[in-house]
Amino acid sequence: MSGGLRTVEEQLADVLAAVRPLPTRTVGLADAAGCVLREAAVARGGIPDFDNSAMDGFAVRFDDVAGASPEHPVDLAVVADLPAGSADDPSLSPGQAARIMTGAPVPTDADTIVPFEDTAGGLDDSLTTARVLAAPARRGVFLRRAHDDIRPGDTVLDSGVPLGPRQLAALAAADIARVTVSEAPHVVVISTGSELVEPGLPRSRGQIPESNGLLLETLVRQAGGDVVRRVHVDDGGSAFRREIAAATTGGSRADVVITSGGVSAGAYEVVKTELGDALRFSRVAMQPGKPQAFGVLPSGTLVFGLPGNPVSAAVSFDVFVRPALLALQGRSDLHRPALRLPAAESWHTPPGRRQYLPAVIDRSDPARWRVRPATPGGSGSHLAGALALAEAYAVVPAETAVVEPGDLVEVLLLEG
């Protein structure tokens, strides 16, 4: 801690120390999309499960066709026809071949595949004789060997991995039908502020559209959480107390409550007024997002008090709340993917605080990506429009006063 400010690492360490992973459940693959794997997935079958053809053509003995050429073609008698899914294993004597389609099991007596393109008749003349015009490059060409990707009993995915389309496809290919995954965190989002009005409704002087609730709800869902309630309340206190009580009692207890607004040093700070004894209110050496609150209520519910300005709320979520939601689900990687890119232009940074600047990536030179601020306004915490353009945060250390063109900058990617 320096100058009364906590470091980002100190604040995050307190958050993660309070996290206890949620219970698990076993589901079919169709219900596992977006979940986090909590037990290693072990292959029941191999990938591939048997020797099969990588091409449409003929299963042959390599020695029969090793000398084939247009000047010296080799004729083979076709004695079987093997579509994908065939259970046949025809015997092949010297001088014989089986017509075979991609994915079909290769006969035990064959050791090479000759594609139709290397024969005189191709598919059109393939049921009686195969005239081979080109010798295979080597024995075993175009033959996919059993288990050359995954063997039965191999670990396909370790615990802690999120299950997306590619992961689910790999599990299915390994004949895994059910997996053990984490429960989704149940989250309540509460936006505070008497000035807030739902978008599209009439507003009086001093009122603003409420945007943080939708921002945080969407971010929670992207992080695998289940938003069970989203609401905004005024600064009076009674509505806030009711929402906290509803979120922390009974069978519908939330795992996490996220508030926005009400945590700064001014008057009418409803979160600080109502939960001042239950949460730790801190100033963190970051910009935006200096005021932060966090604690665990007697119910076990984690409560995050985020600043009310939209960019502050968004950055605070990514730095503190998202890692906690992922840790609750047992994720092995809690942080956004990061790159180091040269700055495309110069910008100033706040003294003594780590900057999280909404940024875009300049890809005009595919061999040399660069990073620049999303808007000319920089990292002002009220600049909600910058969030619409941002695809990353440029993270600048507290000791850096100015970023110059060409300086390498850490960049947190925000997709997903």
The strand pairing partners of 259, in sequence order, are 190, 305
The pLDDT score that the predictor gives to residue 379 is 57
Average pLDDT, integer, range 248-268: 85
User: 128-167 pLDDT, tens per residue?
Assistant: 999 999 999 999 999 999 999 999 999 999 999 999 999 9
Average pLDDT, integer, range 89-97: 98
Average pLDDT, integer, range 255-268: 85
Which pair of tokens denotes residue 1? 């801690």
Which pair of tokens denotes residue 296? 């665990």
User: 280-315 pLDDT, tens per residue?
Assistant: 999 999 999 999 999 999 999 999 999 999 999 999
Mean pLDDT of the chain: 94
The pLDDT score that the predictor gives to residue 204 is 86
pLDDT at 328 over 60: yes
User: 9-18 pLDDT, tens per residue?
Assistant: 999 999 999 9
User: 212-236 pLDDT, tens per residue?
Assistant: 999 999 999 999 999 999 999 999 9
Average pLDDT, integer, range 309-332: 97
Nearby residues of 294 by Cβ (< 8 Å), 6 or more positions away: 11, 14, 15, 18, 279, 280, 282, 302, 303, 304, 305, 320
User: 270-279 pLDDT, tens per residue?
Assistant: 999 999 899 9
The pLDDT score that the predictor gives to residue 380 is 56
Helix (H) or strand (E) holding 53: strand 52-53
The alpha carbon of residue 344 and the mean position of all alpha carbons in its chain are separated, in whole angstroms, by 27
With bands split at pLDDT 50, 70 and 90, how would you rate the model's confidence at 104?
Answer: very high
The pLDDT score that the predictor gives to residue 2 is 47
The answer to whether the Cα torsion of 365, 371, 376, 381 is positive or negative is: positive
Q: What string of H, E and C letters represents the secondary structure of the chain?
A: CECCEECHHHHHHHHHHCCCCCCEEEEEHHHCCCCEECCCEECCCCECCCCEECCCEEEECHHHHCCCCCCCCEEEEEEEEECCCCCCCCCCCCCEEEEECCCCECCCCCCEEEEHHHECCHHHHCCCEEEECCCCCCCCCCEECCCCCECCCCEEECCCCECCHHHHHHHHHCCCCEEEEECCCEEEEEEECCCEECCCCCCCCCCEECCHHHHHHHHHHHCCCEEEEEEEECCCCHHHHHHHHHHHCCCCCCCEEEEECCCCCCCCCHHHHHHCCCCEEEEECEECCCEEEEEECCCCCEEEEECCCHHHHHHHHHHHHHHHHHHHCCCCCCCCCEEEEEECCCEECCCCCEEEEEEEEECCCCCCCEEEECCCCCCCCCCHHHHHHCCEEEEECCCCCEECCCCEEEEEECCC
Number of C-alpha atoms within 13 angstroms, CB side, residue 308? Answer: 25
Average pLDDT, integer, range 114-122: 96
User: 362-399 pLDDT, tens per residue?
Assistant: 999 999 999 999 987 655 555 667 678 899 999 999 99
User: 52-87 pLDDT, tens per residue?
Assistant: 999 999 999 999 999 999 999 999 999 999 999 999
Percent of all residues in the chain with a pLDDT value above 90, rounded to a whole number: 86
Using the structure block, give the residue that is written with the tokens 């053809």: 53
The pLDDT score that the predictor gives to residue 287 is 95
The pLDDT score that the predictor gives to residue 1 is 45
